[in-house]
Structure 1
Amino acid sequence: MALKMLISTSSNCVSHLRGYRKLQIPTFELRNILWRPLLTQLTPVREAKTEGENVGASKASKYQASVRKDTHEDWLRDFLLQKGANTKTIDSIISRYPRAVTRTSENVQARWEIWKSVLQTDLQVLQTLERSPESFFRSSNLENLQDNVSFVSSLGLSSKIVTQLMARAPRTFSNRAALNRDMVEFLQNVCTCLGGDNPEEFARKIISKNVYLLTRSTKRIKVNVEMFQTMLKIPNAEMLDWIQGNGSGILDLGNAYIKKNFDNIQKKFQCLGCSEDEITKSIFTFPRILYLSPVTLNTKVDLLMKYGIKVDQILEMPRVLDVSSASIQSKIKELMQHGYDFQVSGIGVLTLSSNRFKLKVEKLMN
């Protein structure tokens, strides 16, 4: 059952989830936080893969026609060439975000320098711009950009993390600065409601481990925190540690995507005779299992069991499901040729990198 909806700051922070005994669940309180629009829930979208791709080819041509009359395209092309871009890269940037050519030379140069103050080099700015032209060009508000840079820098994050935020999640700096403040305040309130005594450090840890959080909606993160505590059935103190530890990496996934994959994990392993506690413990230990779509997870589990690996071994070493099906199969076949016994020696060998796996095989041959 999902948690109760957020209530005002004057309300008690701790309540309970009906149906579970001895489980204290927080009812999160916010301080007049405005919810961001909820992003897509169906897939675990990562910004680096999709940001700036929302303008399709047909839309791009329409935009180009509307803005072509009064643009700075020639100047922009020359500017990007001077920064090291080639013609193909420039064409790609403009076609994916045609309004880039409407930005004035003064604005583009000033924005470039602010980005460079974080990313350090022209090459890094160019690479980030190429991945996400929308984040660079969609706003001409330099004051908001500088406000975001100043705010993120004030959080006590390392310079390495701040650089990663701009390089991997540049929308962090093009969103309204108020949204970033809302998210940080929300994370601090989560910490307080779970019994934590250092909300600033809590927010800093989570953002450092998942740089995409500031590009997501507070509503998405809220629902995920509620779902995780309902799924895992753990007390507040453990939930607090888990969120800022293993769980931080999946905190930004789509709500529906998480639920669909969780339901499939339960169904698959329960059909194989596993208890709910065993399944929950496996997710708690290795939450990345929630990345796996039903088809992917079922295929990998069936493949492992086809070669005699027991289901309890899979749950005890869920990291094996993070390995590709092709790699699992090739490693198993090679190990079996050398008489490797998975029941005696375990399945951890399947999670080794290519180089470490080769060394392991060489030892088996000697």
Structure 2
Amino acid sequence: MLRLITTSLWLHCQRVTALSLHLRLYTTLNSAENQQTVEALYDHSVDIQRIRKLKGWVLHQSPAYAKEIAKLLKDMGASVSTIAQIFAVHPEAVLCHPGQMQAQKELWISVCPNRKELVGIIEKFPASFFTSSSYHDNQRNNITYFQSLNINKRIISKLMASAPQSFSQPIEQNEVMVHTLLQAYQELGGQEANMKIWLQKLLSQNPYVLLKHPNVLRQNLLFLKDKGFSTAELLHLLSKLRGFVIELNPHSMCRTLEYSQDTMGCSDEKLRDIILICPALLYYSESILAERFKGLLSAGISMSQIIETPTVMELTTQIVNYRIQRLRAHGYDIRKGSLEVLNGTKKDFEMSCGKLQIHRERPLFNPVAPLQVDD
């Protein structure tokens, strides 16, 4: 029944999207541009040619509220250049009714620390802020729901910005998904005292997790359990994958695991150990894994080194080659040393290179050499 409803909604959205596109094209071809909109955008130094090329239909709409929306943004603290950037990226903003956007602003302010931060969010995610007023009730209800879970306001605003669909959908869908996540966490042995922090991290690192179907999570956990992972190990994977376990499916994981095991020539138990160290191996495709294995081996790195430090597989071949060259310039032979020096962020790697440089420049102390003292 749920699948039938979902399919019907999808077909309805497809028809609405197609009709909307047809109306936009018809309007663009059969009406002149709204000169008030064009002049207002010119006054705010917006690239009109870019809008004409990418979203020219907006310029043909009436009524439009370019001046009013610009004033709303200015009153919030947006600079002239920021307003121009928002209009250039999301010109549809000028079609939003000022009164509705005022209500939207107040809604977002309730979860944003200050107006300056809200302006930054709007500049980065304008489509998330300038939404249809028909979604405002859902947004308000979802904000109230996540606040009842004691979710940090910054995380709520991040969710609204980066995954607006999760706040536009009915509250019931989010309730079901959150319940499924928390239930899985507890069934796998998660401590209730840490549950809030765990959920906050997961939602912060993967906001789109709320848009997935709860059954996907259950199926993936069952698949991994059948592969021999304990409940504690499953909790570790669920936490370390940061919700990306919901992006997977048993078929893709099965193929990836088989390819990794065949390539590394390891046992089932050793493969599980490797996955626990580097869960990313679960969701990389066979083609990506093949490229990275080939890149590492062609650089002279042995398979035993890769098995010992599998997290090196998270780096692209380009990054690995660049870092190997840098290390070689500092006299470090990656074929004989640990691969740990390759891992980490760019900042971590630069610090490692700095330590190698200091080590090379520091003179060796000879304990039997005579001390030179002044007479």
Q: Does TM-score exceed 0.5, indicating one fold?
A: yes
Deviation, 1:286, is: 1.6
- Residue 331 of structure 1 and its aligned partner are, at CA, apart by 2.3
Per the TM alignment, residue 265 of structure 1 is displaced from its structure 2 partner at its CA by: 4.9
Find the counterpart in structure 1 of residue 109 from structure 2. Answer: 116
Q: In the alignment, is the contact (CA less than 8 A) between 2:312 and 2:342 conserved in 1?
A: yes
Partner residue in 2 for 1:228? 224
Given the alignment of the two structures, is residue 357 of structure 1 paired with residue 352 of structure 2, yes or no?
A: yes
Residue in structure 1 matched with residue 310 of structure 2 by the alignment: 318
- Equivalence map 1:141-290=2 (5 Å): 141-194=135-188, 198=192, 201-202=194-195, 205-211=198-204, 212=207, 213-231=209-227, 233-243=228-238, 245-255=239-249, 259-260=251-252, 263-290=255-282
Residue 179 of structure 1, CA deviation: 1.6
SS of 1:156 mapped into structure 2: coil
CA contact (8 A) 1:266 1:276 kept: no
Contact 1:139 1:174 in 2 (8 A): no
Q: Size of the alignment, in residue pairs?
A: 310
**Separation (CA, whole Å) in 2 of partners of 1:36 and 1:276:** 41
User: Under a length normalisation based on structure 1, what TM-score does the superposition of the two structures give?
Assistant: 0.70
1:274 partner SS:
coil
> What TM-score comes out, normalization by structure 2 length?
0.69
Whole-angstrom CA distance in 2 between matches of 1:246 and 1:274: 23
- The one-letter amino acid of 2:72's match is F
Q: How does 1:26-37 map to 2 (within 5 A)?
A: none
Match for residue 105 of structure 1 among 95, 98, 115: 98
Distance 2:69 2:159 in 1: 25
Shift of residue 166 of structure 1? 3.4
CA contact (8 A) 2:165 2:211 kept: yes
Give the drift of 1:362. 0.5
The CA distance in 1 between the partners of 2:150 and 2:4, in whole Å, is: 25
Q: CA deviation at 1:323?
A: 2.2
CA contact (8 A) 1:320 1:351 kept: yes
- 3-state secondary structure, aligned to 2:101: helix
1:178-229 alpha-carbon deviations (Å, 9 max, x no partner):
222111122233235445573x853651342343122433243333333333
Between stretches 177-186 and 60-69, larger displacement belongs to 60-69
Specify the code of the residue in structure 2 equivalent to 1:221. Answer: L
Which is bigger in relative contact order (C-alpha 8 A, separation at least 6)? 1
TM-aligned CA distance change 1:251 to 1:37, over 3 Å? farther
Match of 2:293 among 301, 304, 313: 301
Rounded to whole Å, the distance in 2 between the matches of 1:227 and 1:131 is: 38
2:121 equivalent in structure 1: 128
The structure-2 alpha-carbon separation of the partners of 1:275 and 1:35, relative to structure 1 and needing over 3 Å to count, comes to: farther
Shift of 1:326: 2.2
- Answer whether contact 1:206 1:248 (CA < 8 A) is retained: no
Among the aligned pairs, what percent are the same residue? 22
Q: For 1:348, what is the secondary structure of its paired residue?
A: helix
Distance of 1:222 and 1:36 partners within structure 2: 21
Identify the range of structure 1 (144-153 vs 202-211) with the bigger mean alpha-carbon deviation.
202-211
Question: Gaps (5+ residues) in structure 1?
Answer: 1-31, 39-53
Q: Residues 272 and 311 of structure 1 are in contact (CA less than 8 Å); yes or no, is this contact kept in structure 2?
A: yes
Cα distance between partner residues in 2 of 1:317 and 1:293: 19
The 8 Å contact of residues 292 and 313 in structure 2, kept in 1 or not, is answered as yes
Structure 1 residues 87 and 160: alpha-carbon distance in aligned structure 2, compared to 1, 3 A threshold: closer
Structure 2 portions without partners, runs of 5+: 8-16, 28-56, 362-375
The letter of the residue matching 1:284 is L
Contact 2:237–2:279 (CA under 8 A) maintained in structure 1? no
Q: 1:91 aligns with which of 88, 91, 102?
A: 88
**Whose Rg is larger?**
2
